[in-house]
Structure 1
């Protein structure tokens, strides 16, 4: 199997890497973090100009007809730069809801706005008691004529304070942990009854607590089957996990590069500490973990658009488990090899480890997915 990038994919990677290298240094990132939105509107416009927002959408819907491979390329580059912009919640998660759950009218209305950067989306799914269970939904959606009335609260909505619209999971029937009776609704962030409280997360990004109090949603705000929306949610989350795996590779590679450079210049007993064999072994362990993460991220990318929910799910469980293990190893070694400077806010490596930690807990940490993978019979279930 040929794993080389095509010429177009190589151009995409080189162009984005060049933009981020020139415009997204560590000091630039700190300045963007201090902005009111917590990210750079100028960089967001640059992404749109490059066509990054339009990548995953079909040409018939106003996109560029990209595949999960293009998303993998973008996410790895954004991870290496520790980019703060809401690409993941808008294009990957929100875009997946539009691609997999939207009807023709919904795609025609929203995809062009996402593609030109004017519409920002967020996925409001996590609740106080849900932990990592996608089917634990206490937010309710009650019938109101042809539409619905939403009531409930969502937590840790990634970039929720910047979103123009939310994709919200809400229960139309059944109990809080039933897999049936879950619908997906698109809600305007400025609708009556919606309140948003934003805050910074530990990795420097943004999230929000979002409350819905008798929020009216019309029939055009329903995505997919309102009585059986969980398969759509799982498919979107699987696409998100594949993208996060690719971002993790960029984060881990950056931590490794920073660490190797530090080993070359930091001196102890009159010599560079990189000459000590035990520290070289630590750096090699990091490199091996990165290559393993790269392999499983590529596998997750290949499975991201699979129609087989069971096979796709196993691939994402495996990716999450391996990324969680490898990311922790890379981060801990990077901090240890840097010594005290690795723990400071003024040095980049600690910020990478924080981002790696947040990736691990998003949609379930490595231990959670390792358990699910084991319970399902492993990566390749017996026939």
Structure 2
């Protein structure tokens, strides 16, 4: 079985993988995906609450804020296992990215409230921020002791389920990180179906008024946001690696069942060659994620960023390629909605688009590598 290979002297890695597998048995991923689509919803709130009770949502928050105080190594293991199980909760955005932004914010009652709610799962914090940080900034103005926001943010996950949104804004010559209550006057949601049928939303801000207490951080926030996005990218890469691994296993198992000319197609050499190619892609994806985790631990920021860009690009390509070719191996059955392999491919498309498509990340890699 292709998967990330990490040192596990204390048994934590195995424990985390087992906990996600047990969770998925009670809530089969493909079944949940179909129920979310049928309900025209954006996520399963009950599933999110169970994940909070398992301690996964606050995994990367510091203990001082009520979190587990663990790192991206443990988060990547959970994300990989979620990908394998097709648990389509917004872990990378509403947990990893939100945790990093909250942890890096200034100490305040609002910061403590958001952290407590994230850990408990009592409210969902959606992030309206993309890898294009400048384009993510809303226009802010201060008047009458309040902040007013104007602008638009696209492709926001879990917008309808959210109680709060984290947004960036530009006020004069400084950046602001703000929490916006869902249902605020001047905030409008426009929905559209995603690739997998779940709802994604656009947020439109028109003179949306916020109290000053909603400012979480201000000043030059580029470094904070870039590091938070890198962690979210790595979590996405791990999830995509899990999708790639499971899609390969599903395809391999099916070729042993599908019979042509009186034999399982797995006995045909051309099929064996294709399966070897897919296995290699899945293994390389997992190795790229492990490399990025190790580079992060070494403290070299440039090397770590390069490794994260490479891991997200590699895992995105692997999950998409394996999903597409697995459908071919399934034959006509693979194109039906009842066949789970198609759901894995759609999830790979969704995650591959978050925080930069593979081709865009490769261009960023080359540009950063060549920079002095």
Do these two structures clear the TM 0.5 threshold for a shared fold by scoring above it? yes
Matching residue of 1:241: 233
Q: Displacement, 1:25?
A: 4.8
Map 1:222-261 to 2 at 5 A: 222-225=215-218, 227-261=219-253
Larger mean Cα displacement after TM superposition, 317-326 or 20-29 = 20-29
Matching residue of 1:207: 200
Is 1:110 the counterpart of 2:103 in the alignment? no
Q: Displacement, 1:283?
A: 0.9
Matching residue of 1:162: 161
Q: Displacement, 1:102?
A: 4.1
Matching residue of 1:3: 7
Larger mean Cα displacement after TM superposition, 307-316 or 317-326 = 307-316
Work out the CA distance in 1 between the residues paired with 2:220 and 2:23.
42
Q: Displacement, 1:238?
A: 0.6
8 Å Cα contact 1:135/1:230 also seen in 2: no
8 Å Cα contact 1:76/1:247 also seen in 2: yes
8 Å Cα contact 2:192/2:199 also seen in 1: yes
Pair 34,6 (structure 1): closer, same or farther in 2 beyond 3 Å: farther
8 Å Cα contact 2:124/2:164 also seen in 1: yes
8 Å Cα contact 1:75/1:247 also seen in 2: yes
* Partner deviation per Cα, 1:172-216 (whole Å, 9 max, x = no partner): 247xxxxxx443221111211111123331034431111111112
Matching residue of 2:16: 12
Matching residue of 1:171: 170
8 Å Cα contact 1:150/1:214 also seen in 2: yes
Structure 1 unaligned residues grouped into runs of 5+: 127-131, 175-180
Report the aligned-residue RMSD: 2.4
Q: Displacement, 1:272?
A: 0.4
Map 1:1-383 to 2 at 5 A: 3-4=7-8, 6-35=10-39, 37-126=41-130, 133-137=132-136, 139-173=138-172, 181-225=174-218, 227-303=219-295, 309-377=301-369
Larger mean Cα displacement after TM superposition, 358-367 or 2-11 = 2-11
Q: Displacement, 1:156?
A: 0.5
Q: Displacement, 1:307?
A: 6.7
8 Å Cα contact 1:265/1:272 also seen in 2: yes
Q: TM-score, normalised by structure 1?
A: 0.88
8 Å Cα contact 1:170/1:183 also seen in 2: yes
Which structure has more relative contact order (CA 8 Å, sep 6+)? It is: 2
* Partner deviation per Cα, 1:137-165 (whole Å, 9 max, x = no partner): 46301122544210011110111121111
Count how many residue pairs are aligned between Structure 1 and Structure 2.
Answer: 368
Q: Displacement, 1:23?
A: 2.2
Matching residue of 1:178: none
Pair 192,305 (structure 1): closer, same or farther in 2 beyond 3 Å: farther
Q: Displacement, 1:38?
A: 4.0
Pair 302,160 (structure 1): closer, same or farther in 2 beyond 3 Å: farther
